[in-house]
Chains A and B, each alone.
Chain A
Amino acid sequence: MNSVKSIVERMNNDELIRLARQLEVSLTNRKVKRDLLVETIQSELEEHYRERIPWKKTRLKDPAIQISGLTKKFGNTIAVRGLNLVVRPGQIVGLVGPNGAGKTTTLRVLAGIIRPTEGSVRVNGFDMNVSPLKAKQTLGYIPERPTCYPNLKVREYLTFIAKIYRVPPIDATLRMKEYVDLFQLNDLLDAYIGTLSKGNLQRALLVGIFVRPPPHILALDEPIYGLDPRGAWSLKVLLKKLRDEGSAILISTHILEIAEGLCDRFVIMNEGDVVGKGTLEELLVQTPNAHTIEEIFLELTGGIPGT
């Protein structure tokens, strides 16, 4: 409840009025003291959440992501061959590999954007081929090259996402404020999405995902790549927090420092095949000549080049 109170304190006047309207606070005077309004809203929120904890907690199915025997062919080219992958709630799994290894294809199949040639994908227990809507409802996906409705303003996009995912309006307002502050999107709320840079668009999409209540199942394709150091740091902290709260996260990256600092387990891919799998310790056992994640990666994807 304290975090909710601090969110309300950080809100500007327009946001306070919006929240007051959602809470049906009666305001009959043209001017009202800000402190008084904040206090009233806080007590109304306390009343509102008396029956239920903020952001209703649900549990994810175990495993949250299950990819079995996935093969994806584009004509004669095999992008992914026989991939088996499991992400359990409370885990961050890193999909690591050089360019063209099949990471993005795997995530696109997972998000239901393309169909697998063979094999199946289950998200929160729902098969992406059989019940795609239910599977997609629980999944948050950020593509490598983010795209979004260019004619919507950031604020409109976030409100739209909250509405289609049926987030209660009060929860949506509070969560939006929390994550807009975290990703420093305040100044861009009234900007058109079409005018945003890649990094800012990525932040807007991330806030769009986090407007929905946790726990999340996330599929993030190179999420840190377009962000500035502060944004990257905020995201890493947030992902770890979400993991601790029970979210399941699959990250594709080729930046090994990020993978090492963030992921609990790794799946190393090379030319569509899985060449290594497990925790850092398990991978070190598999590759006796390697001492760091970088050396493991090089060893498994063609050997360490001689100097």
Chain B
Amino acid sequence: MLARVGEKLRSFWPVQTLKLIVLLLIPYRVSIEFVPYDTYIHLSSIFWQWYSYEPGWFIAQRFGLMSPWTAAANISVITAPSLYFCYRLRSMSETESSSWLAASTTAVSFICFILISYSYWFEFGGWGSDTMYWHALQGFLTILLTLFVFVPTLKRVSNKCIPKRQMRRAKRIRDRLHQTLVKLLPQHVSRMMILAALVPPYMFGLFVDTYGSGLSLFSPLAGMFSFYFQVDRFLVTPFLPYRASFLMQLGSTTIGFLALGILWLQLLYAHEVLRYVEGRVGKKRVTLIGLTLLVPIVFLGVSSGVTMMLGQANSAFIPFPVSILIGSWLVQRKDRLLSNGDAEPVEVEPSPSHENEVSVPIIYILESRLKKLLRRHKS
């Protein structure tokens, strides 16, 4: 009897329903706001919200213009393609490709989302008081597609490509590679430092709003998280921030997918700058990639300004592309060093101590000291 119940629970529909319930309940937006002498926390899911400054739990999302039934219907429409994809995937043989089906499911889901959101916009002339619901719905769509479409597709591809026996071998090779990388790490500290400097959260910026201005940091990382920090009135009261806020938006669809492209360009730019410093590519290529990276960043800044001017938002974001500035500085520095080298070769007399003395790397010294310490501790 118990076995039968367990089997039923493991079967397709109960598992998918359970996943959906979890997705409907998790908060997609976490906001923490620091003001002098107090902190405000706000969590928002699709059907519930919680404010730290209001007593008790608010189980229901407070829909203003829309009825809860419409909200539920919207979710059903958005969820249907992904559920259908999962259902079809079960009946597909291992050799059959699911990539096209995954692509069309994603496209249909996006079209549904756009149709639903624009019909709301035209009906009510804006987002009204249901902003939180729409924010959460974006996150829901991204996570839904990731869990129901992308992950199963990737799993199928990896299972199809690597037979089990080879999988074990691949794991062994991966482990060995990992060990080698760990060993190599200290030798490439300078490369790592350059990369770390070139791939920061890509937009630091001045946040200007109708009340003043602030310093903010914004990083949609791989389309899944937005991290946003703002200190209001920073320029007016630099030592006592008027307000500091932290916002995490899970799966921000609109900006997230644009961010994926920018992130990829950012990594490419860092890689090319590194290769230029090592003398393996020309300046033209690095500059071209830098300019390409600049285009979406400027676009985001300009569109944010235009939105504010049109009165659709009360703040604008002026981007400050840190990676491009650091990259340009590195390229300039390399050029300066090269031109100095061409102008007049400087002959450096090797000091006698150079020949007779060996410099020991700092990491080696630390290792030796640590081992000595451990040996002493053991004895």
- A51 located at the interface, meaning its Cβ lies under 8 Å from any Cβ of chain B in the complex: no
State whether B372 touches A28 (Cβ < 8 A).
yes
Among A21, A24, A28, A32, contact of B357 (Cβ-Cβ < 8 Å): A32
State whether A35 touches B364 (Cβ < 8 A).
no
State whether B358 touches A29 (Cβ < 8 A).
no
- A307 located at the interface, meaning its Cβ lies under 8 Å from any Cβ of chain B in the complex: no
- A188 located at the interface, meaning its Cβ lies under 8 Å from any Cβ of chain B in the complex: no
Tell me, in angstroms, the Cα distance from A29 to B366 when the chains sit together. Answer: 10
State whether A34 touches B356 (Cβ < 8 A).
yes
- A285 located at the interface, meaning its Cβ lies under 8 Å from any Cβ of chain B in the complex: no
State whether A28 touches B358 (Cβ < 8 A).
no
Tell me, in angstroms, the Cα distance from A29 to B362 when the chains sit together. Answer: 9
Tell me, in angstroms, the Cα distance from A37 to B364 when the chains sit together. Answer: 14
- Known contacts A17-B364, A21-B364; A26 and B358 CB within 8 A of each other: no
State whether A30 touches B355 (Cβ < 8 A).
no
State whether B358 touches A13 (Cβ < 8 A).
yes
Question: What B residues does A29 contact at CB under 8 A?
Answer: 360, 365
Q: Smallest distance from the beta carbon of B176 to chain A beta carbons, Å?
A: 9
Encoded as 1 (CB less than 8 Å from any B CB) or 0, chain A from 30 to 48 comes to 1111110100000000000
Q: Smallest distance from the beta carbon of B172 to chain A beta carbons, Å?
A: 13
- B285 located at the interface, meaning its Cβ lies under 8 Å from any Cβ of chain A in the complex: no
- A290 located at the interface, meaning its Cβ lies under 8 Å from any Cβ of chain B in the complex: no
- B336 located at the interface, meaning its Cβ lies under 8 Å from any Cβ of chain A in the complex: no
Tell me, in angstroms, the Cα distance from A34 to B360 when the chains sit together. Answer: 11
A residues 29-78 near B (Cβ < 8 Å) are 29-35, 37
Tell me, in angstroms, the Cα distance from A31 to B361 when the chains sit together. Answer: 9
Question: What B residues does A32 contact at CB under 8 A?
Answer: 357-358, 360
Cβ-closest chain A residue relative to B358:
A13
Question: What B residues does A33 contact at CB under 8 A?
Answer: 356-358
State whether A34 touches B358 (Cβ < 8 A).
yes
- Known contacts A17-B361, A17-B364, A21-B364; A26 and B372 CB within 8 A of each other: yes
- B369 located at the interface, meaning its Cβ lies under 8 Å from any Cβ of chain A in the complex: yes
Q: Smallest distance from the beta carbon of B126 to chain A beta carbons, Å?
A: 56
Among A24, A28, A31, contact of B359 (Cβ-Cβ < 8 Å): A31
Question: What B residues does A16 contact at CB under 8 A?
Answer: 358
Encoded as 1 (CB less than 8 Å from any A CB) or 0, chain B from 229 to 271 comes to 0000000000000000000000000000000000000000000
Tell me, in angstroms, the Cα distance from A97 to B221 when the chains sit together. Answer: 66
B residues 44-61 near A (Cβ < 8 Å) are none
Q: Smallest distance from the beta carbon of A219 to chain B beta carbons, Å?
A: 28
State whether B355 touches A31 (Cβ < 8 A).
no
Q: Smallest distance from the beta carbon of B366 to chain A beta carbons, Å?
A: 9
Among A24, A28, A35, contact of B356 (Cβ-Cβ < 8 Å): A35
Tell me, in angstroms, the Cα distance from A27 to B359 when the chains sit together. Answer: 10
Encoded as 1 (CB less than 8 Å from any B CB) or 0, chain A from 8 to 28 comes to 000001001100110010111
- B371 located at the interface, meaning its Cβ lies under 8 Å from any Cβ of chain A in the complex: yes
Question: What B residues does A13 contact at CB under 8 A?
Answer: 358-359
- Known contacts A17-B360, A17-B361; A27 and B355 CB within 8 A of each other: no
- B39 located at the interface, meaning its Cβ lies under 8 Å from any Cβ of chain A in the complex: no
State whether B357 touches A27 (Cβ < 8 A).
no
Please report B residues at the A interface, Cβ cutoff 8 Å. Answer: 353, 355-362, 364-365, 368-369, 371-372
Q: List 19 A-B contacts (CB under 8 A).
A: A17-B358, A17-B361, A17-B364, A20-B364, A24-B371, A26-B372, A28-B365, A28-B369, A28-B372, A29-B360, A29-B365, A30-B362, A31-B353, A31-B357, A31-B359, A31-B360, A32-B357, A34-B357, A34-B358
